[in-house]
Amino acid sequence: MLIFMTPLRLLLAPLALSFAMAAVGVSAYGQDPGWKPPGTEEAAAVDRANATIDRVYQQLMQKLDAQGQKSLKEAQRAWIKWRDAEADLIARVGGAVGGSGFRVDFSNALTQLIQQRTEVLQGYLKDAGDEQR
């Protein structure tokens, strides 16, 4: 039996199909709805690491005098340039020279370098706190 397609049914057919796809857990592109592009989770890890280092940096800036703040700013600017170049090198040495693999490797390296620098700044913060006692 052939179903007669009225204009209303023609308009509603894609909607019904999308509901059916959602019910079985398939997106419009045939992917798992929980799927994320490569590098998404790694980028989120970089964001979290940056939030932590920014917080520690601000705490340290509050403990330093004007000259110490100037020195920290200069050191941090130099470190950021080094960090970006180092993360790029790590990703390239790892064999990822483009595409999503490079983004993942670069983000992982960036996160690790930021975490290491955060530990250094936390050490400075502890030392600055000890000096004020």
Q: For residue 73, is it within any domain?
A: yes
Any idea of the CA torsion for 25, 29, 31, 37, to the nearest 10 degrees? Answer: -130
Supply the CATH number for residue 71's domain.
1.20.1270.180
pTM of the model: 0.68
23 domain residue, yes or no: no
In this structure, is residue 5 part of a structural domain?
no
Q: How many domains does the chain have?
A: 1
pLDDT in tens, 98-129: 666 778 888 899 999 999 999 999 999 999 88
The CA-atom distances, in angstroms, between 94 and each of 75, 104, 105, 109, 123 are 28, 11, 7, 10, 30
Report pLDDT digits (tens) over 59-101.
999 999 999 999 999 999 999 999 999 988 888 887 666 666 7
C-alpha–C-alpha distance, residues 69 and 113, integer Å? 22
Q: Is residue 18 part of a domain?
A: no
Range of the domain at 51: 38-131
Q: Which residue has the higher pLDDT, 51 or 93?
A: 51
127 located within any domain = yes
